[in-house]
Amino acid sequence: MGNGIVKNLKFIWDCILQVIYPTDEKCILCAEDTNEDNLICTECERSIKFCEDIFTIEQNNTRFRYYSISYYSGNMMELILRLKYKSDFRAGEVIAKYMIDVIKSNDIQFDFISYIPMTKTSMRKRGYNQSEYLATVISNEINRPVIHCLDKIKQTKDQIGLNGIERWNNVLNSFKIIDKNIIINKKILLVDDVLTTGATAFSCAYELLKCNAGEITILTGAKSRV
Ligand SMILES: [Zn+2]
């Protein structure tokens, strides 16, 4: 529990530092100079393999559309790992900015933003939910609210090391809608950090759909090539 609180305090401290000391125009990955107020330099951006396509995840005749900034490799992988495991919220800011670019360039329409939830135990350990952080940064820029409409009710095994079918079984019935009324007929942008088989994002989107949400679009920081 203590670890989570420390990370949460680090987040608040980072926010305070941002106000006192504005960005010093150095790349957060390699410390080289950057253009204007970019947090990463063009050289570091070059190793990001941006996705051009719109993807779908399909299971039992239900299909969801999803967008991904890039493939899970190079510096996008580095940014995600920093956000997820090192409480580096400036890395999260970079990812969120790319997500906003995807939303704008594809003209994705939605009423509100939601995100892949974590269990209460995981939240206590990490101190923050990286997908919620991304959703919040997007919300501030796009002017759509973040709604916490899903709970993760089952502690699942880490998806790493599980094969495709095991991943689907692992997340089955792991999520629950908190308030059905707020999602009815609403267009929802569902934010995730990494999408591998898509089992987790699909399970969340499927819960929303079962409770009569309108259109659900998934947006992830990176996708694996599987
Ligand atoms: Zn750099």
Residue 97 Cα, ligand 1 centroid: separation in angstroms?
16
In a domain, 212, yes or no: yes
Q: Three-class SS of residue 222?
A: strand
Question: Can you give the pLDDT of all 226 residues of the chain as single tens digits?
Answer: 456 777 777 777 666 665 555 556 899 999 999 887 789 999 999 999 999 999 999 998 999 999 999 999 999 999 999 999 999 999 999 999 999 999 999 999 999 999 999 999 999 999 999 999 999 999 999 999 999 999 999 888 777 777 778 888 888 889 999 999 999 999 999 999 999 889 999 999 999 999 999 999 999 999 997 6
In a domain, 117, yes or no: yes
Domain count, the chain: 1
Which residues on neighbouring strands pair with residue 71, listed in sequence order?
A: 223
In a domain, 132, yes or no: yes
Residue 35 Cα, ligand 1 centroid: separation in angstroms?
11
Residue 26 Cα, ligand 1 centroid: separation in angstroms?
8
Owning domain of residue 182: 48-223
Q: Residue 212 is part of a domain; what is its CATH number?
A: 3.40.50.2020
CA-CA distance, 3 to 193, in Å (whole number)? 21
Residues ≥6 apart with Cβ < 8 Å to 121: 155
CA-CA distance, 16 to 165, in Å (whole number)? 44
Residue 1 C-alpha from the chain's centroid: 23
In a domain, 97, yes or no: yes
Query: Tokens for 49?
Result: 């393999």
Yes or no: say if 114 and 135 are a contact pair by the CB < 8 Å rule: yes
Residue 55 Cα, ligand 1 centroid: separation in angstroms?
29
Distances (CA, A) of 46 to 20, 39, 43: 31, 14, 5
